[in-house]
Amino acid sequence: MYSYITRRLAYGVLTVFGVSVVVFVVMRVLPGDPLVALFGPEGYTKLSAAERASYMAELGLSDPLIVQYLHWMRDIASGSFGHSFFRSESVAEMLLRRGPLTAEIALLSVVLSWVVGIPVAIVSALRPNSWGDNIARFLSILFLAVPGFWVGMLIILAMLFWFGYRPPLTNVSLLENPWENLQVVIGPAFVLGMGQAAYIARMARSALLEVIREDYVRTARAKGLSGRLVVALHALPNALLPVITLSGILMGFVLAGSIPVERAFATPGLGFAMYSAVSERDVFVMQNLVFVYAIVFVMINMVIDLTIAWLDPRIRYQ
Amino acid sequence: MSDITAPLDGIETIAHPGPWSRAGRALRTFARRSPLSAFWGCIAALIIVIAVAAPALPLYPPLKSDFRAMTKPPTEKHVFGTDQIGRDTLSRVIHGSRASLTIAVSAVVLGTTFGAFWGLACGYFGGRFDLISQRLMEFLQSFPDLILAMAIAMALGAGFGTVIVAIAITRIPFGGRVIRSVVLSLKEMSYVEAARGLGASHARMMLRHILPQCVAPYLILATTHLGVAIIIEASLGFLGAGIPPPTPTWGNMLADSLNAGLVPPWWLVLFPGAAITLTVLSFNLLGDGIRDALDPRLRGSV
């Protein structure tokens, strides 16, 4: 197990380094001029050559690329993550202020997706091709096709139309005012949760159908265990392993999906900050936020891999 | 061959089946085996036909504003209503399909093809080249795809070509990994060994003997990724990182609707989103059908 952990950690460190290089290449080296990104094409043409040079020097953009990369790494190591071009807030402050809300949304959506997806999969797998199974499969196919942010917009409209209710737009912490916090978080979490539940129900259904055919499940049934206990005690634990892995991969879906969904709900989380960074062409905030999102994604998958290895000895001895 | 199918005296014979009739027969078999996928395939084809024919259809011009009919709910004159500067929503939804489909199809074809050739080279040559390429693809896959596309679209500056490139780059690792694994198993086949024994060059082995076997997984991969590409394109438009307005795309229209007032009018939200859902649904189900028809072993895996 220890050798597996060390290997996986070393691999994670390599990935983090690779990710940082990709972010740097995309944001700094690609042919787009950062000043065009900052000022817009019209604003850029209005700048004189001297102004352009002074802006470039001030932002540290005229240094050699390797120096720029090292400066960026230094900023990250010092914990400040650099500054927004338009706001006084540093990216680190932004992460601390807005991060918890998005983390809450993500966690709640994962919980919702399991609470909805797994029972649906069990009902589906116990009676394949029955009425319930067909409805469940149709719904999961539908939810894979619906853009989450659009569902969010529809939910807001429907709540407003029928109940005259609009979720609060404030950033309150869970500890301060749990009720208001829940109202902010529940909408985005529901939309993202249903999107994931569709994938999870599909995966868990096919995993269960495969496991149910195994010999040990037949043995359990033959010794007289009731169908429900066979599923709960024998089939489900093994069928859940691929679902756990999928849940980790789906974190990408949640992290990325939370950006348009938070925009639809006007939730003051990190996803909304990413949206603002794009619309304000704030290259530096974008660079750091993209990096943070990718790191979170890599870390979660590393933890999931380690969990799976802990649960399933076959993995760690490969 | 020609003397076998030559017309006999006084008897009309069936013509030698050309490529078209063969394709027709394949389509008929497909429709009989999976009628549901065939139905969704027809919907997908209808969406494409409408998108191509949009300029010829009797619609209001998508960019023309009518200041006497601003933010009007659906009426007989404007079936899907109008937006805040009096542009016809039906016309914009239909014209929006042109941009969305063009971008999704070009991005998927570009990204998957590039990835496929890369994967072909990786699987065929192996060794250090393969090792480094695999790491590179993993780095690309460490980003949630929408976030990577956003960053690239932002860095390159918004526009038609840049959005295509941005989405295409997120598709590269998928093409690469699937085709690589296909090539790895093909390489061990005896017919490939036979070709090597006959002294075929690397290029001939790859292009002539291995590549044709990769066509089915390639097609499956491309069709199943179309839906994802459409959603990414719509999300980019919604976040203001896609094609700049006033070009109508479904994402732009949904973003516009948020600017139409404190509460977006329902018809400006409902119709573009429904168009996205219907398109993605039909492409996804068509893709599932194609996958099951071409390679049942891949059911649920690609």
CATH code of the domain in which A253 resides: 1.10.3720.10
Interchain pair B239, A21: CB under 8 A = no
The reported pTM is 0.86
Interchain pair A145, B284: CB under 8 A = yes
- The amino acid at residue A241 is L
At B248-292, the pLDDT tens digits run: 889 888 888 887 777 788 888 888 999 999 999 998 888 888 887
- The amino acid at residue A148 is G
In this predicted structure, the answer to whether residue B111 has a pLDDT above a threshold of 90 is yes
Reported as type and span, the H/E element at residue A307 is helix A283-311
Mean pLDDT on B162-169: 92
Asked if A49 and A172 sit in the same domain, the reply is no
A26-to-A81, B90, B228, B237 alpha-carbon distances in Å: 17, 37, 22, 20
B234 chain-A contacts, CB cut-off 8 A: 147
What is the C-alpha to C-alpha distance for residues B16 and B18, in angstroms, rounded to an integer?
6
Mean pLDDT on B110-139: 90
User: Among all residues of chain B, which has the CA nearest to that of A292?
Assistant: B143
3-state SS, residue A234: helix
Q: Quick one: pLDDT at residue A76?
A: 80
Pick the closest to residue A55 from A75, A72, A35, A71 (CA basis): A35
CA distance, residue B160 to nearest chain A CA (Å): 15
Residue A243 lies in a domain: yes
Asked if A146 and A98 sit in the same domain, the reply is yes
N- to C-terminal Cα distance for chain B?
40
- Ramachandran sector of residue A281 (left: φ over 0; alpha: ψ -120 to 50; beta: rest): left
In this predicted structure, the answer to whether residue B10 has a pLDDT above a threshold of 70 is no
* Band of residue B116 on the pLDDT scale cut at 50, 70, 90: very high
Place of tokens 């999928």: A246
In this predicted structure, the answer to whether residue B226 has a pLDDT above a threshold of 80 is yes
Q: Quick one: pLDDT at residue B103?
A: 92
A253–chain B Cβ distance below 8 A for any pair? yes
Asked if A156 and A189 sit in the same domain, the reply is yes
Interchain pair A154, B270: CB under 8 A = yes
Residue A289 lies in a domain: yes
B145 chain-A contacts, CB cut-off 8 A: 252, 256
A43–chain B Cβ distance below 8 A for any pair? no
User: Among all residues of chain A, which has the CA nearest to that of B284?
Assistant: A145
- Closest partner residue to A18 (CB to CB) among B135, B239, B269 is B135
The mean pLDDT value of chain B amounts to 82
B227 chain-A contacts, CB cut-off 8 A: 144-145
Q: What is the DSSP letter of B72?
A: P
What is the C-alpha to C-alpha distance for residues B62 and B29, in angstroms, rounded to an integer?
40
User: Among all residues of chain B, which has the CA nearest to that of A15?
Assistant: B139
B150 chain-A contacts, CB cut-off 8 A: 259, 274, 278, 286, 290
Reported as type and span, the H/E element at residue A259 is helix A236-265
Question: 10 Å Cβ neighbour count for B2?
Answer: 6
The residues near A266 (Cβ < 8 Å, ≥ 6 apart) are: A169, A272
Asked if A160 and A227 sit in the same domain, the reply is yes
Residue A86 lies in a domain: no
Torsion of Cα atoms, A98 then A101 then A103 then A107, to 10°: -170
CA distance, residue B20 to nearest chain A CA (Å): 33
CA distance, residue B118 to nearest chain A CA (Å): 18
In this predicted structure, the answer to whether residue B215 has a pLDDT above a threshold of 90 is no
Angle at B239 between CA B236 and CA B245, to 5 degrees: 80
Q: Which residue has the higher pLDDT, B15 or B78?
A: B78
- The amino acid at residue B6 is A
- Closest partner residue to B239 (CB to CB) among A15, A255, A275 is A275
Q: Quick one: pLDDT at residue B2?
A: 46
B285 chain-A contacts, CB cut-off 8 A: 141
Asked if A246 and A106 sit in the same domain, the reply is yes
3-state SS, residue A90: strand
Angle at B220 between CA B215 and CA B224, to 5 degrees: 150
Mean pLDDT on B176-188: 88
Question: 10 Å Cβ neighbour count for B30?
Answer: 18
- Identify the burial level of B16 via C-beta atoms within 10 angstroms of its C-beta, where 0-12 means exposed, 13-18 middle and 19 or more buried: exposed
* Torsion sign over Cα A275, A279, A280, A285: positive
What is the C-alpha to C-alpha distance for residues A23 and A285, in angstroms, rounded to an integer?
12
Asked if A167 and A59 sit in the same domain, the reply is no
* Residue-by-residue pLDDT tens, chain A, 318 positions: 788 888 888 888 888 888 888 888 888 766 556 666 666 667 777 777 777 777 777 666 767 778 888 888 887 877 777 666 666 677 888 888 888 889 989 999 999 999 999 999 888 888 877 888 888 888 888 888 899 899 999 998 888 888 877 777 767 777 777 777 788 888 899 999 998 999 999 889 888 888 888 888 888 888 888 877 888 788 888 888 889 888 888 888 898 899 999 998 888 888 888 898 888 777 778 888 888 888 888 888 888 888 888 888 777 765
Q: Quick one: pLDDT at residue B110?
A: 94
Asked if A134 and A272 sit in the same domain, the reply is yes
Residue A318 lies in a domain: no
* Band of residue B69 on the pLDDT scale cut at 50, 70, 90: low
Q: Quick one: pLDDT at residue B301?
A: 45
Report how many domains make up chain A. 2
Question: 10 Å Cβ neighbour count for B80?
Answer: 22
What is the C-alpha to C-alpha distance for residues B246 and B263, in angstroms, rounded to an integer?
21
CA distance, residue B283 to nearest chain A CA (Å): 9
Q: Where are the alpha helices (DSSP H) in B157-214?
A: 160-187, 190-197, 202-204
Whole-angstrom Cα Rg for chain B: 24
The residues near A148 (Cβ < 8 Å, ≥ 6 apart) are: A191, A192, A194, A195, A257, A260, A261
* Band of residue B233 on the pLDDT scale cut at 50, 70, 90: very high
In this predicted structure, the answer to whether residue B185 has a pLDDT above a threshold of 70 is yes
Asked if A141 and A205 sit in the same domain, the reply is yes
CA distance, residue A44 to nearest chain B CA (Å): 13
Asked if A111 and A64 sit in the same domain, the reply is no
What is the C-alpha to C-alpha distance for residues A313 and A184, in angstroms, rounded to an integer?
41
Q: Quick one: pLDDT at residue B67?
A: 66
What is the C-alpha to C-alpha distance for residues B12 and B10, in angstroms, rounded to an integer?
7
- Closest partner residue to A144 (CB to CB) among B136, B151, B284 is B284
CA atoms lying within 13 Å on the CB side of residue B115 = 31
Residue A87 lies in a domain: no
Asked if A100 and A74 sit in the same domain, the reply is no
Residue of A278, A286, A289, A293 to mutate, testing the B interface (most B Cβ within 10 Å of its Cβ): A278
Determine the structural domain holding residue A56 and report its residue range. 19-78
CA distance, residue B279 to nearest chain A CA (Å): 8
Asked if A254 and A288 sit in the same domain, the reply is yes
The residues near B195 (Cβ < 8 Å, ≥ 6 apart) are: B204, B205, B208, B209
Q: Which residue has the higher pLDDT, B11 or A244?
A: A244
Q: What percent of chain B has pLDDT over 90?
A: 19
A10–chain B Cβ distance below 8 A for any pair? no
Q: What percent of chain B has pLDDT over 70?
A: 86
Q: Quick one: pLDDT at residue B106?
A: 94
B276 chain-A contacts, CB cut-off 8 A: 147, 150
List residues of chain B with CB under 8 Å from any CB of chain A. 135-136, 138-140, 142-148, 150-152, 154-157, 227, 231, 234-235, 238-241, 254, 257-258, 263-264, 266, 269-270, 273, 276-277, 280-281, 284-285, 300
Interchain pair A14, B143: CB under 8 A = no
Reported as type and span, the H/E element at residue A312 is none
Q: Quick one: pLDDT at residue B192?
A: 84
Interchain pair B142, A202: CB under 8 A = no
Residue A1 lies in a domain: no
Interchain pair B139, A18: CB under 8 A = yes
Q: Quick one: pLDDT at residue B1?
A: 43
What is the C-alpha to C-alpha distance for residues A101 and B8, in angstroms, rounded to an integer?
80
ipTM over 0.90: no
Place of tokens 């068509």: B286
Asked if A213 and A238 sit in the same domain, the reply is yes
Q: Quick one: pLDDT at residue A73?
A: 83
Length of chain A measured in residues: 318
Residue A2 lies in a domain: no
Residue A209 lies in a domain: yes
Mean pLDDT on B98-114: 92
